[in-house]
Amino acid sequence: MHKNKIWLSSPDMGGSELKFIQDAFDTNWIAPVGANIDGLEQDLEAYLENGHVTVLNSGTAAIHLGLIVLGVEAGDEVLCQSMTFAASANPILYLGATPVFIDSEKETWNICPVALEEAIIDRLAKGKKPKAIIVVHLYGVPCQIELIGQLADSYGIPILEDSAEALGSRYKGKLCGTFGDVGIFSFNGSKIITTSGGGAIITRTKALKEKVLFLATQAKDKAPYYQHSEIGYNYRMSNIAAGIGRGQMQVLDKHIDLRREMNAFYVDLFKDISSVTVFKTANEASFANCWLTTIIVNPNNNKGITNEVLRFALASDNIESRQLWKPMHLQPLHEKYPYYGTTVAENLFKNGLCMPSGSNLTKEDRERITAVVNAVFKN
C-alpha cells in the first residue's frame, strides 16, 4: 500500500503567487521592503475594512509586538485563554510578564467569560491589575467577543485578539481580528492562507501602526546614523513571502467556502455515529471560516472507541489527524502560573480530534476518510 498522504491542512496555491514573486525578482526587491509588502497590507486593509495592517514574519511576532504596544512589561500579568497553541502565550514570557490562564466555555471552546471575570476580580483583589487579555478564535470559531469586549471595557483592560486561525470568520457580520485593541493573523503553512511563514497585526490607529513598524525594523531613531533608544526587533515580512500572500488573498473567500464544505462533509459523515459530535458553535451570531473541523469522540457511547483509536486508524491509511491543542495550564512550561476555571478545556483536549480540513482535499480523499471512519465505527 502506497497511498498519498492526506494532510490535516496543507498549502493551497491560487495561481498568481508566482507572478507576484516574479515581480519581486524583476524589480530586485528581494528584501523585507517592496511593492508586495505594501500591496499585501492594502489587500488586508481592504478585506478587513477597518484598521491599519502591518505584515510581519510570523503570527508569533505579531503577538509579541501587540503586547508591547499594549504596554505589557516585565512583572505584569496577562490573562490568556488556556486552550490554544503555545504561540498565543509564549510572547508573554518573552517580555518577562506572567501569564494567567483561563478555561474555555463549552459553547465556543474559547475563553469563558465567567472564569475571565472571576480571574479579573481575584487579581484585582490581590493588588495586581492585569495589563491585557489574549482571546483566541480557536479553529476559526469566534469567541464571545462582544461580551468579552464589554467585560474588558468595564475593567479598563485592553484585548489582544489572536485571530491566527480565524481570518474571514465573523461575529455579527464583523470580521474577527477587528474587535480587539490589536488583532493578529498568521500565514503559516497550515493556516487558511499562507505566505509560507508570516503574520500580520492590525491596529486601530495609524500612529500605532507606525509604532509597530518602528519596533519591527530594529527601532531606529530619526537620526542621520544608527541610533537606538528602544529595543528593536527584526520582524518584518519578506517581499517574496508577501508576494505569495498577495496571490493567496485572491483565493481567500474560495478557501473559506471549501473549508466550510469540508465541515458539512463531516457533519454528514458522522450524522449516524452517536458517539461523535462535530463541533459547531450554537452561537447564531457566529460565522466560522472552518479552518479545521474538530470532533469530540465520546468513548462511553461506542464500545470504548476513543479519539486515539480513530487517529491511529486514519494514520494507518496515511491520513493525518491531530489532537486538539493541549491547554496551556496543563503544559510543563506553564504549570506554575495561575489558572481560573474548571475542566472544560481539559475534557475537550481528552476527547477531541482535528480532522483533515484543507481546501485542497479531493473527492477521492473524502472517500478514503469515509472508508476509515465507517470501518472504525460501523463494524
Footprint of ligand PLP (CB under 6 A): 58-60, 84-85, 87-88, 136, 162, 164-165, 186, 188, 199
**Position 352: which residue type?**
G
**Rounded to the nearest whole angstrom, what is the least distance from the CB of residue 198 to ligand PLP in the complex?**
7
Q: Which residues are paired to 101 by β-bridges?
A: 80, 339
Helix (H) or strand (E) holding 22: helix 17-27
Which CB, 84 or 98, lies closer to ligand PLP?
A: 84
Task: For ligand PLP, give the closer residue by CB, 62 or 295.
Answer: 62
By beta-carbon proximity to ligand PLP, the closer residue of 16 and 90 is 90
The least distance separating ligand PLP from the CB of residue 38, rounded to whole angstroms, comes to 20
Contact 65, 216 (CB under 8 A): yes
Q: How far is the CB of 283 from ligand PLP (least distance, A)?
A: 19
Which residue has the closest beta carbon to ligand PLP?
Answer: 59
Distance (Å, whole) CA 35 – CA 98: 39
Instruction: Give, in degrees to the nearest 5, the angle at Cα 62 between 13 and 34.
Output: 60
Q: How far is the CB of 124 from ligand PLP (least distance, A)?
A: 27
The smaller minimum CB distance to ligand PLP, of residues 136 and 373, is found at 136
> Could you tell me the smallest distance in angstroms from the CB atom of residue 333 to ligand PLP?
15
Residue among 189 and 338 whose Cβ is closer to ligand PLP: 189
Nearer to ligand PLP, 60 or 321 (CB): 60
Residue 353, φ and ψ in degrees, nearest 5: -155, 140
Torsion sign across C-alpha atoms 78, 80, 86, 88:
negative
Shortest distance, CB of residue 82 to ligand PLP, whole angstroms? 12
Using alpha carbons, list the distances in angstroms from residue 122 to 111, 126, 337.
Answer: 17, 6, 14
For residue 186, the one-letter residue type is S
58 or 144: whose CB is closer to ligand PLP?
A: 58
Report the residue number, 188 or 281, with the smaller CB distance to ligand PLP. 188
Closest to ligand PLP by CB, 59 vs 356, is 59
Which grid cell is 120? 479579573
Smallest gap from Cβ 152 to ligand PLP, in A, equals 19
CB 135 within 8 A of CB 184: no
Straight-line distance from the first to the last Cα atom of the chain, in angstroms, rounded to the nearest whole number: 22
Strands (E) located in the chain: 52-56, 77-81, 98-102, 132-136, 159-162, 170-171, 174-175, 182-186, 199-203, 276-278, 286-287, 293-297, 339-340, 352-355
375 CB contacts (<8 Å, ≥6 apart)? Answer: 313
Cβ-contact 209, 215 below 8 angstroms: no
Q: Which is nearer to ligand PLP, 317 or 320 (CB)?
A: 320
For residue 376, the minimal CB distance to ligand PLP (Å) is 28
Phi, psi of 193 (to 5 degrees): -130, 155
User: Closest distance between ligand PLP and the C-beta of residue 274, in Å?
Assistant: 31
Task: Give 175's contacts (C-beta < 8 A, 6+ positions apart).
Answer: 47, 48, 49, 168, 169
CB of 273 to ligand PLP, least distance (A): 28
DSSP state of 134: E
Strand partners, 255: none
Q: Which amino acid is at 108?
A: T
